[in-house]
């Protein structure tokens, strides 16, 4: 059981690692690509548990409405938003266009 969970996390990390700069993928999209359809929340949990200082581009994962899942105004929200903006993602009223910035794999 523990080995399967570790294997699933590694599959998620491998998919997230592939998201190109300036693009964003949804939690559900990551789950599908990792062979875990229907496990979007598990992807979110896995991203939440990443160690501090990770090189994985965790900030390129957001929800399917084109919004950051952290509560607006929090340190985590502001960090993710600034990292995405640094890569050219534009926010309008707290939202970005998945049509424009979504990762098409």
Question: What local confidence, expressed as pLDDT, does residue 4 receive?
Answer: 67
The residues spanned by each domain of the chain are 2-101
Q: What are phi and psi of 82, to 5 degrees?
A: -65, -40
Pick the CATH number of 2-101 from 1.10.260.40, 1.20.1530.20, 1.10.10.10, 2.10.210.10: 1.10.10.10
Within a 10 A sphere around the Cβ of 19, how many other Cβ atoms?
21
- Kindly give the confidence (pLDDT) of every residue in the chain, 105 residues in length, as a single tens digit, with 9 standing for 90 and above: 545 667 899 999 999 999 999 999 999 999 999 999 999 999 999 999 998 889 999 999 999 999 999 999 999 999 999 999 999 999 999 999 999 999 997
To which residue do tokens 């707290």 refer?
Answer: 94
């Amino acid at each position: 059981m523990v080995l399967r969970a570790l294997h699933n996390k590694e599959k998620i990390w491998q998919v997230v690692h592939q998201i190109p700069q300036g693009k964003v993928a949804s939690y559900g999209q990551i789950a599908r690509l990792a062979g875990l359809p229907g496990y979007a929340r598990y992807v979110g949990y896995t991203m939440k548990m990443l160690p501090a200082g990770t090189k994985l581009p965790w900030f390129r994962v957001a929800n399917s409405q084109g919004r950051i899942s952290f509560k607006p105004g929090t340190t985590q929200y502001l960090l993710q938003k600034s990292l995405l903006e640094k890569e050219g993602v534009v926010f309008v009223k707290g939202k970005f266009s998945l049509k424009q910035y979504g990762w098409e794999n």
